[in-house]
Structure formats: C-alpha cells, structure tokens
Amino acid sequence: MIDPRRIHLLNNCPEQTGPVLYWMSREQRVADNWGLCHAQQLALKRRQALVVVFTLADSFLGATLRQYGFMLRGLEQVRQQLAKLNIPFVLLRGEPRTELLRFIGASGAGCVVCDFDPLRIKRTWREGAAAAATVPFIEVDGHNIVPCRVASPKREYGAYTLRPKLHRLLPEFLTPLPRLERHPFPWSPPLRQEPFDLDRLLSELPCDRSVPEVSGFMPGEEAAAEALADFITTRLPGYALRRNDPCANGQSGLSPWLHFGQLSPQRVALAATAGNSDPDREAFLEELIVRRELADNFCWHCPGYDRLDAAPDWARATLEQHRHDPRPWCYGQDELEHAASHDPLWNAAQRELTTTGKMHGYLRMYWAKKILEWSASPEEALAHAIFLNDRYALDGRDPNGYAGIAWSVCGVHDRAWGRRPIFGTIRYMSFEGCRRKFDVARYSATVY
C-alpha cells in the first residue's frame, strides 16, 4: 500500500462511481509509479476501469521539437506497456484544464489521481481543474523520495537545513516500489478516441522546430533502466572524485529520464544503496536526494523561483548595490545563444548544450555565473540563462534547472563570499579556477 503521506486531496468532492482516471504529467512511466499504482488500487477496490490520460499542450515554457520529441517517444512506449496491462492510454490535446474537465464529464469518471509538481504552470493546471471538478482530485508525490509536502512546511535556507529532515525520514520512505498488475476491469469508452499516432503528432505539433532532436539519449523506460545499470556498474565507483571533471565522464547522465519521469528517483536511490556505503554512494545520494529535493522545496515554497524576487535578502541587496558596475564584456541573448563570447570554455559549454541537449553540471554553474557577469542587469542574466537552458537542455523547465540558475545568479541556497565587481558578495567562478580543476583545453577540443 502507498504511504498515505504521499497523498494530498486537492478538493472535497464526494466519491462517485465510474472509472478512475490517472492524469499522467510529471511521472511519465508505467513502472515504479506511486500515483499510477494508487490509482489502480482505487480502481480495484471500486471494481472500476482504470484510464491513463495525458494532456498535451501545443506550447509549454519554450519547449522545442527536441523536448517534445523525447517526451512523445517515451509516451508511445508508455501506451504500449499499458495496453499489455489492459489499461487504456488517452492523449488529449489543448489547454490541459479544459480538456481534462471535458474528458471527466464525457467518461463519467469517478475520481482523478494526479502527479505532484511544484512548477507554477503545472500547479495552476492541477489546482484549477480540481476546483472546477465535481469528482475527487487526489495528488500523489511520486517524484520525491520524501514527499515535498512532508519534508518541510517552509522554504529551506539550503541543503544544510533540509538534509537532516530528509535523512530522518528516508528510512520510512525509501522502501521497495509496488508493481502494477494486469487490470481486470475493462473500459468501454463513451466516445471514439483518436489513436496515438506518434508520427502524425510530431509532424503536426506547432512547436519550434529549429532545435532538432538529439541522438545521444534514447527516450523511454527501457533506455532509462539501461542507463541506470550502466552508471551503477561503470561510473558510480569513483563518482566522488570524478563528478566535477567534465573530461572524466563521471556524472550519472540520468537527468533527461528523471526530468521526464521516465525513471523513478526512488528506483535510482535503491540501486545506488544496494552495496556497502562508501564516499561515492554518499556523494551521489547527496545530489540525487538532498539537492534534487531541495530544488522542489525551493520551487514549491517560492512561486517566483525564476525571478530576482527569489534571491535571499543579502543577495538582492548586494546585486542592487553593484547593479551599475561597469561590465567589461556585455552580450545579448543572440550572441550567447551562438556561443560568441570571448571565453573559449564558456563557448564550448554552450555548444555542448545546443548540440547534445546536455551540459556538465559543474560547467552549468560556471556558464550561468558568466551570464551574470556579462549581462546588463541581474534580471537580464536570469532571463538569458533560463531561456537558453529551457530551449536546448533535455532537462530544462525543471526545478533543478531553476534552482541551479538561482544559486548561480541570485545566491539561493548559498552564502555571502568576498566582494567583487558586478557580483558583490555572490559566489564567483573564474576561467583560471576551472583550469586548475580540469583540463580546459581538452574539454574544449572535444566539444562540437
């Protein structure tokens, strides 16, 4: 059974008869999906059909064909796996709240189970649909190992304040994951549903096609499982020493699958804790659990996570004090997008992002801090960094991305450092500092 602390009621509507709908959004997988498993438990208890619904918006926070392609190819695999379990998958297109409410009425649904997501737009969709619905809306946090609502009731100052809270609760929540079973109650759709036609969807979507799909990451649960197994066996040993070296291929590389919910963070944590505790496992679990769930805490408790308002008071004050400092270099969005700065390392990192859909985590911090140094204002720096990350990264539009950029530009989850021009007391990173840590020339030479 699912821990009831993962569950949150979004409205007070009475239970009704009819199929149980699982509104798939953040958790785009069949295996290891707490929300989907809870929806099946409800459907089995009520002896009702279970239907999985996904609402596809034609535009979403600047997503391009790169992100839509990865997502839709993964959802095609979800549809196939659900069919083997006698669970229909329905894709709706249009404004998510409107389309979901229309489908609830047409299908005679008895209740809706949905995913937790801290992003403003997802929260608006979820809470708006729940408020307008006449059936229960049940939110399940299947993304955080310790559910975000349970981990902390407030915005945390940093990892050092959230870490003990998570560690205290982990033994209760880091448990084996349930398995979905073949559903015994079939669904009789009231209306003819359009078939999931992947090629047609990809050809018709009115998204930005100037950023193409990439071949370095294969979408879907099977590819995610293979990537996890490869990391655990080949790169987890030595992770603590190699993770900050872009030349060492030492990071997990799992973020695209984690972002699209094609891989369960809990499954990753269970795999990483299967052996004896050591510095490599501890370093990886700090990133996977503490830092990742800190990002959800930040976006959940700070709705302006993508604005300067998110900065702590000390950081806002120092950025304001240095707002008019001279900028030896100042680049616009177009110059940044085309990697046309004077810094060869920054240009290489930007080219890696635009070409492969990813950027090494250590370099992403350097990359964002240089955007602050080269922008006319902190607000402009935030806008440029978010635009570029969300446009090109497969793991863009994610709490990790917003928190990472806010850390780099706004001092979120950080402390004051020595004063410098432009940065004030925001932590500074330099080309020379990177060169002392890894072979900058080698990295730059390997990037397209």
Residue-range definition of the domain harbouring residue 43: 4-143
73, part of any domain: yes
202, part of any domain: no
Quick one: three-class SS letters along the chain? CCCHHHEEECCCCCCCCCCEEEEECCCCCCCCCHHHHHHHHHHHHHCCCEEEEEEECCCCCCCEHHHHHHHHHHHHHHHHHHHHCCCCEEEEECCHHHHHHHHHHHHCCCEEEEECCCCHHHHHHHHHHHHHCCCCEEEECCCCCCCHHHHCCCCCCCHHHHHHHHHHHHHHHCCCCCCCCCCCCCCCCCCCCCCCCHHHHHHHCCCECCCCCCCCCCCCHHHHHHHHHHHHHHCCCCHHHHCCCCCCCCCCCCHHHHHCCCCCHHHHHHHHCCCCCCHHHHHHHHHHHHHHHHHHHHHHHCCCCCCHHHCCHHHHHHHHHCCCCCCCCCCCHHHHHCCCCCCHHHHHHHHHHHHHCCCCHHHHHHHHHHHHHHCCCHHHHHHHHHHHHHHHCCCCCCHHHHHHHHHHHHCCCCCCCCCECCCECCCCCCHHHHHHHCCHHHHHHHCC
Domain boundary among 242, 269, 303: 303
Assess whether 129 and 64 both reside in one domain.
yes
One digit per residue, the tens of pLDDT, for the chain of length 448 reads 899 999 999 999 998 999 999 999 999 999 999 999 999 999 999 999 999 999 999 888 789 999 999 999 999 999 999 999 999 999 999 999 999 999 999 999 999 999 999 999 999 999 999 999 999 999 999 999 999 999 999 999 999 999 999 999 999 999 999 999 999 999 988 767 778 899 999 999 989 999 999 999 999 999 999 999 999 999 999 999 999 999 998 999 999 999 999 999 999 999 999 887 799 999 999 999 999 999 999 999 999 999 999 999 999 999 999 999 999 999 999 999 999 999 999 999 999 999 999 999 999 999 999 999 999 999 999 999 999 999 999 999 999 999 999 999 999 999 999 999 999 999 999 999 999 999 999 999 887 6
359, part of any domain: yes
Assess whether 442 and 346 both reside in one domain.
yes
CATH of the domain at 66: 3.40.50.620
194, part of any domain: no
Assess whether 227 and 120 both reside in one domain.
no
Assess whether 242 and 173 both reside in one domain.
yes
Assess whether 27 and 120 both reside in one domain.
yes
Residue 194 has what pLDDT?
77
Assess whether 263 and 134 both reside in one domain.
no
Residue 293 has what pLDDT?
98
CATH of the domain at 426: 1.10.579.10
212, part of any domain: no
Domain boundary among 125, 143, 161: 143
